[in-house]
Amino acid sequence: MIKKFLFIVFSLLYFNTLTKAQSVYIEPLIDDFFCRNGISIDSCSYDYLYTEAFQWIDTPYRYAGNSTAGIDCSGLTKKLYEKVYNLKLEGGSKTIYDQIIPIKNKADLKEGDLVFFKISRNQISHVGVYLKDGNFIHASVKSGVIISNLSEPYYQKYYYAGGRFPE
């Protein structure tokens, strides 16, 4: 029992120390999930982003939430960035947007970039984390944490810009 406990503790410590430049092995279950959602994870993909993103799938939406009991779009973005990139973000989607370098052309988006939307008002009100091939993970009010595609009419209509943090 103690060996199992120590193994789990050391495994968690190892995975919590990974940085952006490192990756981990993608389990077949995770790889299969993303393949079924149109995302082929190859050796060039940043595995840790997908592993962490998978942990949040189907988490219910909760305004201002930041746990697996419920999370909103900026909460999810902040959790992913803190865990994957060791970068602590503050504020909501508009505040996060004010900190990034905008990317206007969708073709220039890379894994881990952010995507911003103007949905309910004439200001940025939604954010997600770009995966690849037009797919992004976000917390939807109706569906919780899901993967959507920028080519879907709804997201085409409200898309504002992509962005990334300065290096």
Active-site residue set: 73, 126, 138
- Helix or strand or coil: residue 140? strand
DSSP, residue by residue, the chain = -HHHHHHHHHHHHHHHT--TT---PPPHHHHHHHHHTT----TTS-HHHHHHHHHHTTPPB-TT-EETTEE-HHHHHHHHHHHHH-----S-HHHHHTTSEEE--GGG--TT-EEEE--SSSS--EEEEE-STTEEEEEETTTEEEEEETTSHHHHHHEEEEEE---
SS3 label, residue 8: helix
For tokens 């080519």, the residue is 151
Pair 93, 100: CB distance under 8 Å? no
